[in-house]
Amino acid sequence: MFASLSDRLTTTFKTLRGKGRLSPADVDATVRQIRLALLDADVSLPVVRAFTAAVRERALGDEVNGALNPGQQVVKIVNEELVTILGGESRRLRLAKNPPTVIMLAGLQGAGKTTLAGKLGYWLKQQGHAPVLVACDLQRPNAVTQLQVNGERAGVAVFAPEPGNGVGDPVDVARRGVEHARARGYDVVVVDTAGRLGVDADLMQQASDIRDAVQPDEVLFVLDAMIGQSAVDTAKQFDEGVSLTGVVMTKLDGDARGGAALSVVTVTGSPILFASTGEKLTDFEVFHPDRMAGRILDM
């Protein structure tokens, strides 16, 4: 749909070859093309601004000036910088020294939390763990049933003491979920929470209360790859509300460029741990920064 950065820069540099050093106008045109490519990929504006300022110098130094194909050289640099940011703090899931490990899922409505709970449960079980999923979305119609079905499909236990649909206290269920795990010997607790808006003060307080009640080892921000410019504010709000420790990108089986990955890592400083790539239990993988960078730049 949109021109890739590579195509854009080929056009920008068409007149350049053989001309020698980049003029100040070439420099501006290059930075502008990088900016547009990132914006078309849904990277948030403030993040684009910081990023282009940071690559400006490198993209316009000798490694580009001397290059046979300056356009490709700039693309290479931008790609490298993206990979560095996206994978800078790449790490594995943090497990508690004294089990159970508690993983809390948080995010906007419909991002893919409940689906992810099933996938995480399945994946953890494959890794030799004994996980339990805890149903703390007592709000969305039949969220509890949805988690129970996902747990059943994954062959993973589900702790769902309250029926939901407006009945039950999510903070209390979360606390009891961890007690339940301790009593029954489950070593990982995955806490599914209701979708909420970053601007919803009451629900963010509730999320924060859930976090305080279970002291999670990981608070994973579940993020839809299709999200646009609001990613940066939303990520900030969740980070302030529940202190995120990691990110999971969902719906990466779609054709969205997923520039929000860059936005969220930049503003929260939390690494992306996993990618969700479909509706099935097994559509789940460890996050690959290089693939994500290529995807954002459409390479």
Ligand X SMILES: Nc1nc2c(ncn2[C@@H]2O[C@H](COP(=O)(O)OP(=O)(O)OP(=O)(O)O)[C@@H](O)[C@H]2O)c(=O)[nH]1
Pick the stretch among 22-30, 122-130, 179-187, 257-265 that binds another protein (CB under 8 A). Answer: 257-265
Assess 278 for contact with ligand X (CB under 6 A): yes
Burial 72-107 (b: 16+ CB within 10 A, else e): ebbbbbbbebbbebbbeeeeebeebeebbbbbbbbb
Asked if 59 contacts 30 with a C-beta cutoff of 8 angstroms, the reply is yes
Provide the 8-state DSSP code for 176.
H
Burial 44-58 (b: 16+ CB within 10 A, else e): beebbeebbeebeee
Contacts of 86 (CB under 8 A, 6+ apart): 261, 262, 265, 272, 289, 292, 293
Q: Which does 277 bind (CB under 5 to 8 A by kind): another protein, Mg ion, ligand X, none?
A: ligand X
Beta strands 272-276 and 284-286, pairing class: antiparallel
Assess 206 for contact with ligand X (CB under 6 A): no
CB neighbour class for 230 (10 Å; exposed up to 12, middle 13-18, buried from 19)? middle
Q: Given the complex with ligand X, which of 81 and 224 has the nearer CB atom?
A: 224
Assess 31 for contact with another protein (CB under 8 A): no
Assess 233 for contact with another protein (CB under 8 A): yes
Distance of closest approach, residue 173 Cβ to Mg ion, in angstroms: 14
From the list 279, 282, 286, 299, which residue makes contact with ligand X (rule: CB under 6 A)?
Answer: 279
211-230 residues in contact with another protein (CB under 8 A) are: 224, 226-230
Pick the stretch among 11-19, 49-57, 103-111, 289-297 that binds ligand X (CB under 6 A). Answer: 103-111
Q: Rg of the chain over CA atoms, in angstroms?
A: 22
Assess 137 for contact with ligand X (CB under 6 A): yes
From the list 131, 195, 216, 271, which residue makes contact with ligand X (rule: CB under 6 A)?
Answer: 195
Beta strands 284-286 and 101-106, pairing class: unpaired
From the list 140, 176, 182, 236, which residue makes contact with ligand X (rule: CB under 6 A)?
Answer: 140
Asked if 71 contacts 77 with a C-beta cutoff of 8 angstroms, the reply is no
Q: Given the complex with ligand X, which of 8 and 113 has the nearer CB atom?
A: 113
Q: Which does 199 bind (CB under 5 to 8 A by kind): another protein, ligand X, Mg ion, none?
A: another protein
222, amino acid identity: V
The C-alpha atoms of residue 41 and residue 68 are separated, in whole angstroms, by: 27
Q: Contact residues for another protein (CB under 8 A)? A: 1-2, 36, 39-42, 44-45, 108-112, 114, 118, 139-143, 145-146, 148-150, 153, 165, 197-199, 224, 226-231, 233-234, 251, 253-257, 259-260, 279
Q: Contact residues for ligand X (CB under 6 A)? A: 107, 109-115, 137, 140, 143, 194-195, 197, 222, 250-251, 253, 276-279, 283
